Amino acid sequence: MKKDFIFISESVTEGHPDKICDQISDAIVDNFLQQDIFSRIRAECAVFTNIVFIAVNFNSNAIVDLPFIARRTIKLIGYDDNNPFNAQNCSILTSIRESGIQKNLVDEREMSDENINKIKALDQATVFGFACNQTSAYMPLSVWLSHKLARRLISVRSQNILPYLEPDGKTQVGIEYRSRKPYRIYSITIIASQSKTESQGGPSLRKLYSDILEHVIYPSFIDEEIKPDERTKIFVNPEGPIILGGPYIHSGLTGRKNAVDTYGEYARHGDSALSGKDPMRIDRIGAYAARYVAKNIVAAGLADECEVQLSYSIGFSAPVSVQIETFGTGKISDEHLAKIVNKYFDLRIGGIIKSFNLRRLPTITRGGFYRKLATYGHVGRMDIGLPWELTDKADIIRQDIF
């Protein structure tokens, strides 16, 4: 296992075409569940130039206005009339199928343990969760900082600090590791779109670089222990100006940013999209449960790094395989940890839905719930009260062992 290496993770802003699609897909999931908590939904989206295509397969009593949801989401992201792609003028095509996707009409909160055991997986999936002690959020530092920079990039636009910025942007952070611990910031890259060329009154590349450095990069590291140093390589739009950005210049698709949604490729993740799926989809909620397990193990001080693998098979209520990998950092064996996990964590589909209250979160969360997950990560969030980010099992499993 490597001890010294450089690792780079990226993030994208909510105006990135792939993230536009994720947000529309999850806004649709929110809307269905707000009207019918037993809704089954699979929503996917694609965007390019000035066209939005939405495909939805569902079984629900809800009545959902897909074009309205899409336009509202695009407007919230910030695509106004100054961009060729905008909420008012984009063309929206929909393909809708009301299918016989199986619904579970019994509230998990009222079900006995025996009945929860009867809720079987309707899909096969192998999902992963990860946690480490590199940050207070138990996330790899590279993706944590990338998300932080992406948030700041949008913040300076929305606050009119840098009003010439457009919603589309990308960030990358390279971390130099020594003995598998973050040592220094190796590189920072910011890709920012702007509304005008220099000849039209927009910023020059030199001005853009200076503004991003002053208003985005430096403020993002004020409270960070490791900061850029004199050897840190900093790039801002290294290939030249990005005018307008968004779907006007590149396409987007739901579920194409799995690494951004999870651990920045520092750890493994499943190949299935997380966005656009209701809480019965194990490839979505299983990833949340696996993160919950991994985070509690690290928070309990049982490992510095922990990856949890859960494998689900059609017809089974619980994972057929639970694997733990602590990369040599565990205080006890990985096999012993797996037994602890099976003892204290309910990883059955019905158990996950019940524990996290996944059907009702869109109703009790102002502005919807799942749409907020669609940008800046489905895990490791400190800005949303995510049930799978709790460390409420840490003391229990620590006491069991020590």
- Whether 62 is covered by a domain: the verdict is no
- Are 119 and 175 members of one domain? no
- Are 306 and 384 members of one domain? yes
CA distance 35 to 19: 25
- Are 128 and 148 members of one domain? no
pLDDT value at position 400? 85
Whole-number Cα distances in Å, 377 to 86, 269, 288, 300, 346: 24, 13, 11, 23, 24
- Are 174 and 235 members of one domain? yes
Tokens of 49: 């130039």
**Residue range of the domain that includes 312:** 114-134+279-401
pLDDT value at position 247? 96
What's the whole-model pTM score? Answer: 0.96
- Whether 252 is covered by a domain: the verdict is no
- Are 187 and 297 members of one domain? no
- Whether 126 is covered by a domain: the verdict is yes
- Are 228 and 181 members of one domain? yes
- Are 189 and 215 members of one domain? yes
- Whether 20 is covered by a domain: the verdict is no
Whole-number Cα distances in Å, 148 to 235, 238, 268, 314: 17, 20, 21, 38
Q: Which residues contact 207 (CB under 8 A, 6 or more apart)?
A: none
- Are 325 and 359 members of one domain? yes
- Whether 222 is covered by a domain: the verdict is yes
pLDDT value at position 271? 87
- Whether 25 is covered by a domain: the verdict is no
Q: How far is CA 292 from the centre of its chain?
A: 14
Q: Where among 192, 224, 245 does a domain terminate?
A: 245
| Contact criterion met (CB below 8 Å) for 14 and 20 | yes
- Whether 218 is covered by a domain: the verdict is yes
- Are 232 and 293 members of one domain? no
Residues of the chain with pLDDT under 70: 1, 100-106
CATH code of residue 232: 3.30.300.10
- Are 300 and 354 members of one domain? yes
- Whether 51 is covered by a domain: the verdict is no
How many domains does the chain contain in total? 2
- Are 228 and 286 members of one domain? no
| Contact criterion met (CB below 8 Å) for 57 and 87 | no
